[in-house]
Amino acid sequence: MNNKKRFSKIVQDIKDIKIQGARNIAKAALYAYSLSPTKESMSSLVHARPTEPMLVNTLHKFEKFGYKKTLEHFQSAQDKINKFVLRTIRNNSVIFTHCHSSAVVNSLVYAKKHRKRFEVYNTETRPLFQGRKTASELKKAGIKITTFIDSAIDIALESKQNSRKVSMILLGADAVLKSGVINKVGSGMIAELASLHKIPLYIVADSWKYSSHYVPIEERDFREVWSRVPKNIKIRNPAFEKIQARYIKAVISELGILSHSEFIKKAKKN
């Protein structure tokens, strides 16, 4: 396969969610852009998933620092994040997560390897079921996992309906903004329920997800929801949603375990 074909395949895989999650998307975009570093390539990568400032930030870093140095950031940031998440997990706890975040999954696998005792509740995450990916990866690492249908989020978080109460929520992020965090649709509702049930909600995210610009919410194809929908039924399929800053206990990034406002200050400086 030549570079042009390889580039187009990566863009298509990002569009089709074969490559998913902000960090994996940014990493794949970095490689694709290194194959074809032109204005047009930048534009097709940026438009492949519009809610991804990490992708944009990564391509700008590439222009300043080159491929190798930019790529190194991903692992070194994740290594630091893993250590910070390890500190926040209490033994014998139940952790709730949503969709598939490589930052969350990596840090949970790291915590398990470092002998933390915990189990995980997660959601299947319709319409594309990224929750199954999370469940399979955690199971493979020997972590006890229970998957709930999305409509049962309140049941998952409500202590009376489960043998054990959820002690913390770990969510990934697509964008960290001054007003809050954008993550998979459903995250806003989870944050409101977390506040109702007094469960701390942490965002686990690389600081390159910070953006001082407006970030649009991607609306995806209706066929993901209902492929043969009868005429005159309109389908809405927003991919992401904002979590208001007031619901966030801390943002765990390579910069530390910081309140949302402290994170914004530090990320702005970087």
Supply the residues annotated as catalytic: 174
By beta-carbon proximity to ligand RUB, the closer residue of 24 and 195 is 24
* Cα-to-chain-centroid distance, residue 166: 20
Q: Rule CB under 6 A: which of 102-161 touch ligand RUB? A: 102-103, 130
Distance CA(129)–CA(201), nearest Å, equals 22
Which of 8, 15, 17, 152 touches ligand RUB (CB under 6 A)? 17
CB atoms within 10 A of CB 82: 21
Near ligand RUB by CB under 6 A: residue from 13, 15, 24, 141:
24
Three-state SS at 270: coil
Of 103 and 255, which CB lies nearer to ligand RUB in the complex structure?
103
Site for ligand RUB in 238-257 (CB under 6 A): 239
Spatial CA neighbour of 106 closest among 143, 70, 156, 153: 143
From 13-21, 67-75, 81-89, 225-233, span contacting ligand RUB (CB under 6 A): 13-21
Our finding on whether 22 is near ligand RUB (CB under 6 A) is yes
What is the CA 161 to chain-centroid distance, rounded? 27
CB of 15 to ligand RUB, least distance (A): 11
Secondary structure element (H or E) that encloses residue 32, with its range: helix 22-35
Element (H, E) at 135: helix 130-140
Among 20, 58, 78, 82, binds ligand RUB (CB under 6 A): 20
The owner of tokens 């005429």 is 231
Q: Which is nearer to ligand RUB, 162 or 218 (CB)?
A: 218
- DSSP-derived letter for residue 17 is T
Element (H, E) at 97: strand 93-97
Q: How many residues bind ligand RUB (CB under 6 A)?
A: 18
**C-alpha distance from residue 76 to each of 25, 64, 102 (Å):** 17, 18, 14
Per CB under 6 A, the segment of 19-27, 141-149, 222-230, 254-262 that binds ligand RUB is 19-27
Among the listed residues 7, 21, 85, 258, the single contact to ligand RUB using CB under 6 A: 21
What is the binding site for ligand RUB (CB under 6 A)? 17, 20-24, 99-103, 130, 172-174, 183-184, 239
